[in-house]
Amino acid sequence: MSVYASTHPLVQHKVSLLRDAQISVKSFRELTKELATLLAIEATASLKVEAKPLTCWSGTISTPMLAEKQPTLVPILRAGLGMLDGTLAVLPCAKVSVVGLKRNDDSVKLDANGKVDIAIESYYQNIISDVSERKAIIIDPMLATGGSAIACINMLKASGCTDICALFLVAAPEGIEALTESHPDVDIFVAAIDEKLNDQGYILPGLGDAGDKIFGTL
């Protein structure tokens, strides 16, 4: 697995704005969307193209086009929906596979190694039927313990997908480590890598609860 932490100045600026404790729902949504677009550009830079024939105004030419089917976007409900429009801006024809996962807040505990352990519950799955022929791009604002991302990747692999990457706005080192151990073949693209998790599994300094901020349910 490779971890790509964006060095784009706009990405760094926009993540900083997201951290403002006084941010409005509108601004949080807009920045999340803009960051998703910027990360999607980075994550799709390695898509393969091949020369294909095209009839243009001056005749038939051989011109580079995507070699394979468009990736499928995989928002993890609910916060991942906040990144959907931003990624669709780059991949407007992408099919969307949806995975519903939620953390069981009553299950939060520290394991034998002092790591935060949170049970993840799956409540919805709608993965496109030809996912084995596409790259899957998981979108979720926060990579905390890694539990949701790992569960989502397990579902995609069980459905036959072999080419997966994931986009996050903010990642904790603990989540990156867990994901690397479970799925070393999955590349991740992040806007920022933060310091650590607190004992409730929230990222520090982080953004708070990204789902609540996107949906205005604080």
Q: Which residues bind ligand URA (CB under 6 A)?
A: 79, 142, 144, 202-203, 206, 209-211
**Looking at beta carbons only, is 71 or 82 nearer to ligand URA?**
82
Pairing of strands 3-5, 196-197: unpaired
**Looking at beta carbons only, is 11 or 203 nearer to ligand URA?**
203
Smallest distance from ligand URA to CB 200, Å: 9
Please state, in angstroms and rounded to a whole number, the distance separating the CA atoms of residues 197 and 141. Answer: 15
Record the tokens describing residue 135, joined without a space: 């790259």
**Looking at beta carbons only, is 43 or 210 nearer to ligand URA?**
210
**Looking at beta carbons only, is 69 or 102 nearer to ligand URA?**
102
Smallest distance from ligand URA to CB 208, Å: 6
CA 167 from chain centre, in angstroms, equals 3
- In 3-state terms, the chain is what percent helix, strand and coil (to 5)? 35, 30, 35
Smallest distance from ligand URA to CB 54, Å: 44
Q: Are 191 and 35 in contact (CB under 8 A)?
A: yes
Smallest distance from ligand URA to CB 182, Å: 17
Q: Are 169 and 15 in contact (CB under 8 A)?
A: yes
164 forms beta bridges with 136
Smallest distance from ligand URA to CB 41, Å: 24
**Looking at beta carbons only, is 130 or 199 nearer to ligand URA?**
199
**Looking at beta carbons only, is 71 or 80 nearer to ligand URA?**
80
Q: Are 174 and 195 in contact (CB under 8 A)?
A: no
Cα dist. 180→147, 177, 186 in Å?
12, 5, 8
Please state, in angstroms and rounded to a whole number, the distance separating the CA atoms of residues 29 and 6. Answer: 20
Smallest distance from ligand URA to CB 213, Å: 8
